[in-house]
Amino acid sequence: MQSQPPAVPDPGPTAHDVTLCAEALRAALAAHGITLPSLRVDLPSFAGSYRPPAGLIALGNCNLATARRLAEVLRKAAEG
């Protein structure tokens, strides 16, 4: 009987992976006329207590008009 090598834990997304995700989200929103200057990679989330490190994307600090437009676009996209 052969023993299995120990499982290697998933290292989670890299800063590059999360940056690409944020850029893709920024481009998708821009295609709908939405610009969120605060959309960025939250680099401290890589050093946090998330296991594996999660690499969060900060999406906030947008004004009311942008938030309403984003909600409208996402609602229409969900409707098909």
> pLDDT > 70: what percent of the chain?
78
pTM for this predicted structure: 0.64
Higher pLDDT, 63 or 25: 25
Give me the mean pLDDT over the 63-78 stretch: 81
Residue 1 in this model has a pLDDT that exceeds 70: no
Q: What is the mean pLDDT of the chain?
A: 77
Give CA–CA dist 59/24, Å, rounded.
Answer: 13
Contacts of 34 (CB under 8 A, 6+ apart): 66, 69, 70, 73
Digit-coded pLDDT (tens) for 23-49 = 888 888 888 888 888 888 877 776 666
Would you list the domain boundaries of the chain?
15-79
Give CA–CA dist 67/60, Å, rounded.
Answer: 9
